A and B are shown apart, each in its own frame.
Chain A
């Protein structure tokens, strides 16, 4: 139980285009989800906290107009990387709080060419 499905697992896009990443909680409701970014050989960096039905809370230094987060239902949060550039290439991971620990998605490898 308590599975978080993240899609797609890999995506390659052209510079200047937008990419949407989905994070779904499959068997539980998640009023809060979290989005992380991980650079190669680095730790996870929390980007934003996604709250169902309200605006996301972004961490300092994260451009909210570039990384659009939508949490329209209790089981789905999306991260859209707008006008992607090569420096946005990274591994993005979402997680949801089950109330006693976190469940993470399997991550999305974004490559911007």
Chain B
């Protein structure tokens, strides 16, 4: 069965610091992987997606993610976090199933 784990429920970083949000998956075949962001009280926005091909995926808002089959991971990264990046981030294993997400707080 498809499953995804976001090990970090809550992460706090300083503005300007680098960011990495973890996403580990368990699949039999090559997965379709997504990262979404949800700002407080808002709907979700697709940041980036991986279907196949280049394992380093560039997304919107300066985010990128790298698919590493050997580590069963699809971690989200950003070199310099902005205060507006504070939100909830989801890496669902399937288009329909969302886990608990990772809440990002950014301090000035």
Contact = CB atoms under 8 A, between A and B. Distances in A.
A28 interface: no
Interface in B85-100: 90, 95-100
Interface string A68-111: 00000000000000000000000101010100111111110100
B89 to A, nearest CB: 11
Contact of A106 (B42, B46, B90, B101): B42
Contacts of B90: 43-44
Contacts, number: 47
A6 B42 CA distance: 11
A106 B34 contact: no
Contacts of A67: none
Nearest to B100: A43
Interface of B: 34, 36, 41-46, 49, 51, 90, 95-101
10 contacts: A4-B43, A34-B96, A43-B100, A43-B101, A46-B97, A46-B98, A93-B44, A95-B44, A104-B36, A104-B45
